[in-house]
């Protein structure tokens, strides 16, 4: 019989949307229960070949790269600011924030692929992600990123409802 191992590294995937607080709260609770570290990850979808072609017509490659890097840095700053705000509003989190949050990462690419790749590359034991449910014809549908992550993940995925 396989023994269940505690989670040591939890990958919390966020889209930085308004409804991510319950998802983050679950990631924190799992980290506390398992004495695990959290990696906060935001994946940025690529702009596509048309957008790249337009940018390259007007800007040199180096400048495009610099703009992309600055945008990623701004997103990391946004994530740190949101974490600070969460800490200010959720007093119980402040006391163990530094022992729970291992790193904050922004990575470009298809979100589902980035999440699964990052989880595998950094030995995550659990992925925590929002469902981003949509309602269509009285049916609840799982968001495409959450669906793809669960279909291809090699580790357990905890999906937290955060739809409208």
pTM over 0.85: no
E strand segments, 35-155: 37-44, 101-108, 126-130, 134-136, 139-141
Residue 71 lies in a domain: yes
* Angle formed by the axes of helices 144-152 and 111-121, nearest 10°: 40
Residue 5 lies in a domain: no
CATH number of the structural domain spanning residue 57: 3.40.50.620
Helix (H, G, I), strand (E, B) or coil at 146: helix
Residue 138: which domain range? 14-29+37-160
Q: Give the pLDDT confidence score for residue 88 in this predicted structure.
A: 78
Closest C-alpha among 83, 71, 98, 73 to residue 16? 83
Mean pLDDT of 36-56: 81
Quote the number of domains for the chain: 1
**Tens digits of per-residue pLDDT, 79-133?**
888 888 887 787 666 666 667 889 999 998 899 999 999 999 999 999 999 987 5
List beta partners, residue 134: 141
């Amino acid at each position: 019989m396989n023994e269940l191992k505690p989670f040591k590294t939890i990958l919390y995937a966020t889209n930085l949307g308004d409804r991510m607080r319950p998802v983050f709260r679950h990631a924190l609770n799992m980290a506390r229960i398992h004495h695990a570290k959290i990696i906060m990850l935001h994946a940025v979808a690529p702009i596509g070949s048309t957008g790249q072609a337009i940018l390259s017509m007007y800007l040199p490659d180096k400048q495009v790269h610099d703009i992309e890097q600055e945008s990623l840095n701004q997103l990391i700053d946004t994530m740190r600011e949101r974490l600070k705000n969460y800490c200010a509003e959720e007093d119980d989190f402040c006391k163990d924030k530094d022992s729970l949050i291992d790193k904050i990462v922004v990575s470009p690419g298809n979100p589902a692929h980035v999440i699964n790749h990052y989880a595998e590359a950094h030995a995550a034991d659990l992925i925590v992600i929002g469902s981003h449910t949509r309602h269509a014809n009285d049916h609840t549908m799982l968001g495409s990123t959450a669906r793809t992550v669960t279909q291809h993940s090699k580790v357990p995925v905890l999906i937290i409802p955060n739809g409208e």
